[in-house]
Structure formats: structure tokens, C-alpha cells
Amino acid sequence: MPNDKIFPSPEAAVADVPDGATIAVAGFGLTQSFPSSLTVALRAQGAKELCIVANSLGEGPYRSMTLIENHQVKRLIVSFSARASGDRSPAEQQIAAGDIEVELVPQGTLVERLRAAGAGIGAVFTRTGVGTVVAEGKEVRTIDGVDYVLEKALPVDYALIRARRADRFGNLDFAGVGRNFMPSFAKGAQIAIAEVDEIVEGALPPESIDLPGIFVDRVVLQTADVKPRFWAARPGAGSDAAQEYNGKRGWTRGEMAKITADLIPEGSYVNLGVGMPTLVSNHIAGRDVTLHGENGVLGYGEAAAEEDYDPALYNAGGEYVRLRPGGSYFESVTAFEMVRGGHVDAVVLGGFQVDAHANLANWSQPAMVGGGIGGAMDLVAGGGTVMVMMTHTAKNGAHKLVAECDYPLTGPACVDIVVTDLAVFRWNGERFVVERVADGFSFDEIAELTDFPLVASPEFTAREGAFARD
């Protein structure tokens, strides 16, 4: 057994990376869990024509994006290639110019393909992506009456990962949700390089080891001192934000989150997607509802304050949260086992479009270069109740409840409940039924702002539809 895997510096650890290498680079969201010292060292090393495998590319000079800014990347295999709004990133600019090829992969499929490569498995069948562009050109096989897409294993030449502690044997200990993609990326690599905050004297206690050293080839101490960034809601996207219709204010995002939380049955395990759905976590206090994050956390709760937060505890939106009693951490492979295995009862997602056939589109729209599939395709394929939170129309007035989705689908016929800032809709197997409308709005107004016919539930009345709290 190799007895010393410690390298003197990040530069030494990446010195042999050749042009054209395929490199899995860990990291979550825009700033969390990136092996920043290694990416900076690889930029200085200068290897070209790289294929980067990643969940997201991050931002700034310390993440994967720095390699793209330096024109070292030829191909991307990622879950996120684009921002939903704002200026185009260097990656989007180079993709649009044809300088970088991109393959978008659902997050759960990405980690499973890398895990399969490390386990000597050539391919896996998954329900994720059935009926979407992800399945195009791939074998779809019906097994016991269910359609599955064949996804090939994804071996890589190198993996750059991050951990809290290591020993000279390459054993790793992760902090909080910081383990997310690290184990699967390391297992799928010929050479796995771990950047750590601390290298212990002697050896890590066996019970503290989250990834055994057999999967890790090189260990370096971090040299890029990158401070955690506290993520707060974008201007106009906080809980008090509200959109106007016909000169009247719809429900605020906070009110929508409260309404959505009230629709979740007691005893449920629930996944909250990025964006507006993350606000639901502020409305489960005192309830028997357990929140699940695909980044590797079960049992988190409300948002943390900037003056008191744990940088190793964040939700799927990269926002810092609290851990409730009984909470736990695990890697992303395990997180998606919980989803695809049917252990998660409900998911709450944002949406660009929901149509009259209960189809959902929430990962790409025309203004985007590529898109951001993330874990949404895995989540809607898991068999749990799918709830969508979104504004009733786009800011320019375009319908979001449409007759037919014309954006790429996240999942076909998967939506059970829609909560907009004007109404609550429930799918009855044939159509969406209005259960409730915002105070000051009529059923006819809601129908006018919806691109398909609506029907009111038998129990619906204008008074019952109003938003009224104690």
C-alpha cells in the first residue's frame, strides 16, 4: 500500500496533466466546495483542449470558470452551463461562439455515471430523462412496464476534489455537505487529487474516514485562501417580493411558500429545488416534515443568518441553512438513491412553463446558452408528488401556464400541483383544477391569464380562495 500520497504543492500535483485530458472538477453552485488551489494551479500549468466534467462551473478566479476564461477548455460535460438571467458568463460566450462543445447531464445521472466507471460497470439504466432531449439518440428499454434510458459510464483521467482533512494514506474526511460530488468523482478517475484544509499527523481515525485512500492518489494542502460568500436573495427575489396583475398585487413569494408548505402532508420527506422553493424551509418549524437536499443533506430547516451560519451547511440553492435534530450528511449518489428509490415523498420545483398536459419545463429557455438541468429531471422521475412554484406569468406578461410547452421538457406528465402568485391548481388526471385564488382576484381573471381552460373545484368559492391568515 502506498504510504505517502502527500504532494508538496498544488502545482506539483497537477504538473503532469496533459493537453486533451478529461478532468472532473468538483464544486457546488457558484462558490461552494471547489478545489480552488488546484484549479488555479492548473490554469498556471496551462494544459489545453481539456474536457471538464462538473456539476457547475462556479465564478471568479478560483473555480472551474478560470480555466474557461483562459481558453483551456474544449468540451464540457456538466449539469449547469448557463445562468437563468444576467450577463453571459465566459462559458456561455464560448459555447455560443462554437469554441466549446457542451453535453448537459442531469445531476443524478452525472454522479451515477462516474460511480459506475469507478465500479467497473459499463452503463446503467435510469428513469431520469425519459421523454426529454436527454434521451435522444440513446437506447430506451422497457423493464417491467417502465421506460429507462441507457447511460454509459463516464471514466475521467483526473479528478480534482476538496475535503476537510486527510492523512498521508489518502484517507479523507469531509465537512458537512462538502462531500456532495467528491466520492463519485474520485472513484471515476484514473488519478484523484484531493485539496484539503488540514493534513493530520499519523492517520485519521478509521470511523472518521468518509472516502478511503484507495480512491485517492494525491493529497495537497490548500493554498488559495478563499473566504465563503454568504448568499442572500437577489434584489426583487426575497420573501416580500410580489408581482402585479391588473394593477393588483399577487401573493408575495413568502405567502406562496407558506401556502406550499401547508399543502405538504405531515410525515413527508420533501426536496426543495433552487430559487423560490427554498423559501418553503422557513415554514416547516414545528411540523413533521423532513427536508432533503440533493447536495447531500437530510433534515435541514430555516435559512441561516449572515452573522451566524455554517459554511459547510447549505441547501441545493447554495443558501446557508440550519440543521434540525436528526439531520444527516451524505454524498450525492446516496441523495439520488433516496429520490429514485421512492423514499422522497414530494419535490417542490421552480418552473418556466407548465402545460395543459402536466408537462414541466424548467431548465432552459431561448435566452439561455445551454441550460441548467441540475437535479430536476431526477427529482420529477422519482415517483413523488411534484409541486411547482412560479409566478403566474413572466415579467413581460407571457404565459407560463401554457397550452403546450415550447421550452425543453424537464419531465412529461409529471406535475401534480402548481402554486402561482395568483392561484393553486391541482391535476386531477385530465386537467388542472383551481382550488384557491389570491385575495382580490376572481376566477375569471385567473382564467384570462392562463393559456388553457380551467375548472374550479367543487369546494371553491371566492372567500375560500382568498389568502387570509391570522
The domain limits of the chain are 10-221, 244-465
Q: Which amino acid is at 183?
A: P
Q: Tell me yes or no: is domain 10-221 CATH 2.40.50.140.
A: no
Give me the mean pLDDT over the 239-247 stretch.
90
10-221 with 244-465: one CATH topology? yes
pLDDT tens, position by position, 137-167: 999 999 999 999 999 999 999 999 999 999 9
Q: Who has greater pLDDT, 464 or 215?
A: 215
Q: Residues 107, 109, 112, 114: is their CA dihedral positive or negative?
A: negative
Does 412 score more than 90 pLDDT? yes
Q: From CA 326, how far away is CA 444, in angstroms rounded?
A: 46
Q: From CA 351, how far away is CA 349, in angstroms rounded?
A: 7
Q: Residues 147, 152, 153, 154: is their CA dihedral positive or negative?
A: negative
Q: From CA 454, how far away is CA 424, in angstroms rounded?
A: 12
Of 420, 407, 422, the closest CA to residue 376 belongs to 407
pLDDT tens, position by position, 177-222: 999 999 999 999 999 999 999 999 999 999 999 999 999 999 999 9
Give me the mean pLDDT over the 76-88 stretch.
82
Residue 279 contacts residue 251 (beta carbons within 8 Å): no
Query: Taking phi first (over 0 means left), then psi (-120 to 50 degrees means alpha), and beta for anything else, what does residue 45 get?
Result: alpha
Check residue 462 and give its pLDDT. 44
Check residue 468 and give its pLDDT. 35
Q: Report the half-sphere exposure of 437 (CA within 13 A, side-chain side).
A: 22
Tell me which range, 235-244, 433-442, 457-466, is most confidently predicted by mean pLDDT: 433-442
- Would you please indicate which residues are annotated as catalytic (active-site) residues? 294
244-465 fold: Glutaconate Coenzyme A-transferase (3.40.1080)
Does 431 score more than 70 pLDDT? yes
Does 58 score more than 90 pLDDT? no
Q: From CA 299, how far away is CA 195, in angstroms rounded?
A: 28
Does 29 score more than 90 pLDDT? no
pLDDT band for position 463 (cuts 50, 70, 90): very low
Does 235 score more than 70 pLDDT? no
pLDDT band for position 36 (cuts 50, 70, 90): very high
**Contact residues for 344 (Cβ-Cβ < 8 A; gap 6+):** 269, 270, 271, 292, 338, 379, 382, 384
pTM of the shown model? 0.93
Minimum mean pLDDT range among 422-426, 431-435, 458-462, 464-468: 464-468
Q: Which grid cell sits at 413?
A: 406528465
Q: Who has greater pLDDT, 175 or 85?
A: 175
Does 326 score more than 50 pLDDT? yes
pLDDT band for position 469 (cuts 50, 70, 90): very low
Q: What mean pLDDT is reported for the chain?
A: 93
Check residue 369 and give its pLDDT. 87
Give the H/E segment covering residue 262: helix 253-262
Q: Who has greater pLDDT, 417 or 84?
A: 417
Q: Residues 174, 214, 106, 80: is their CA dihedral positive or negative?
A: positive
